[in-house]
Amino acid sequence: MSAEGMVNDVGNNPKLTVLPLIALIFYEVSGGPFGVEDSVRAGGGPLLSLLGFLVFPLIWSIPEALVTAELATSFPENGGYVIWISSAFGPFWGFQEGFWKWFSGVMDNALYPVLFLDYLKHSFPLFNRLIARIPALLGITVSLTYLNYRGLHIVGLSAVLLAVFSLFPFLVMAILSVPHIRPKQWLVVDFKKVDWRGYFNSMFWNLNYWDKASTLTGEVKNPSKTFPKALFGAVILVVSSYLIPLLAGTGALHTSSSKWSDGYFAEVGMLIGGFWLKWWIQAAAAMSNLGLFEAEMSSDAFQLLGMSEMGMLPAIFASRSKYGTPTVSILCSATGVIFLSWMSFQEILEFLNFLYAIGMLLEFAAFIKLRLKKPDLHRPYRVPLQTCGATMLCLPPAMLLILVMCLASLKTFLVSGAVILLGFFLYPTLVHAKNRKWTRFETEQPAALLSTSLGGHLDVPESRQEVIDEVSVSLLPALSPSNIEKDGTEVLLEEDLKLE
């Protein structure tokens, strides 16, 4: 029996297929047009917003999705970008990447229970009062955390149903708006009112996180074929879910750009279709936030599981429930969500964008480094460009990342700097804990652990073995403090010698 077949048999936990994976990626990146209203206000009118959602996917979303497809299928293990960075630059930087991305993901996830209640409070003013709001936030977080615990396939199915429910009212709104469309209104822009910092942050936030689902690659059925298809489908779905409502709302209504803020699509629905459409959009917005929460928590939790399986975190983070879900990792992510939910929307948005941008720059660098360092690496999906072309593909999004970072406030620089320093401190601390045997760490390769649990009989195909060899370099090394300062090349060489 093949290795993949045995993996599927363990615990009889169903793997993700194309449609649920498209829905999960959709919710990692978007969740619908909720929140894009700010791009009209920050852009001083519809023109820059519409151009942004036409141009930014070309210079940002598509390159990131292509890079993710190649690297995720080359390393089909839970952990995603942590494995890519570890293979290219060594485990120290792999750990930093994982810490930055997990922290930004938890910050992002802290938004959704709050936004869920913000939509509901328009119809139920009770949620404006702390006496009702705090228990509701805790209840929502606990309930959604339990749904994650019950199984990733349930989360994927829920995401499909939520996506259909969340997008359908905008399709109805677009159809109803057709007789009222005035194309010249799409060309309106007042450059004196343009808030470039808010505009770029809004665009970036609404079109990032394409790489996030890579942390679930080990839970995907036939990832070499499923992952690229799902990414392609998700790109089309995300861009369409932004452009169609914006074209309908800005083309059919003559309203000031200052009115376009979070939640304004509900008012657009009322003006185009009536109160029934407003309530439907409000309900869809509330449910979309649940889908966003589920997808984000799944990725964050499986990222911690993958890091634990590589030996970067204590073994307890790799423990799974009877449903195949990483129990401790889910609880850790849920705790982070509760503690971060007190921050304001704009603060969280800028902080997570900054940390995400640093991580993505490292991913693009790893993509190029692996093309040069491992030209013969088995790549089931390969971006159809030579190394020079692949480098040029990464330049526009890299410049956008640097621009977003340069536009950040001083407070964002200070908070993000503190998070980065914390990551630098955590790595040697975990190395010391491993050397002192304060807690148990995984020290074997994931496939070797599986082989042991199955009685030592594991048929590993040649292509799969190559992936296992690549994954092995990301194990947290048993370094002494004097060795921690070695660069990634020396660490990789040391690990290769150990494996031999």
Q: What is the pLDDT of residue 10?
A: 40
pLDDT over 90 at 138, yes or no: no
Q: What is the pLDDT of residue 70?
A: 92
Task: Please tell me what DSSP assigns to residue 16.
Answer: B
The helix (run of H) or strand (run of E) holding residue 338 is helix 327-340
Q: How many CA atoms lie within 13 A of 272 on its CB side?
A: 35
What does the pLDDT look like over 53-108, one tens digit per residue?
999 898 888 899 899 989 988 888 877 888 899 999 999 999 999 999 888 888 87
- pLDDT band at residue 209 under the 50/70/90 scheme: confident
Q: Are 245 and 257 in contact (CB under 8 A)?
A: no
The Cα–Cα gap between 203 and 246 comes to 14
At residue 320, the 3 state secondary structure works out as strand
* Global pTM value: 0.76
The amino acid at residue 341 is S
Domain boundaries, the chain: 3-499
Instruction: Measure Cα distances from 86 to 23, 208, 312, 362, 399 in Å.
Output: 28, 22, 11, 11, 24
Q: Pick from 183, 253, 189, 200: which is nearest to 44 by CA? A: 189
The Cα–Cα gap between 197 and 199 comes to 5
Bigger pLDDT: 262 or 387? Answer: 387
- Which homologous superfamily is 3-499 in? Amino acid/polyamine transporter I (1.20.1740.10)
Bigger pLDDT: 141 or 238? Answer: 238
Mean pLDDT, rounded, for 118-126: 68
What does the pLDDT look like over 300-336, one tens digit per residue?
888 888 888 888 888 888 788 777 777 788 888 787 7
Q: How many CA atoms lie within 13 A of 466 on its CB side?
A: 11
What does the pLDDT look like over 16-53, one tens digit per residue?
788 888 888 888 888 888 878 888 999 899 999 999 99
Q: Is the dihedral of CA 4, 76, 450, 445 positive or negative?
A: positive
Q: Are 293 and 161 in contact (CB under 8 A)?
A: no
Least confident of 165-169, 292-296, 381-385, 423-427: 292-296
Strand partners, 2: 459
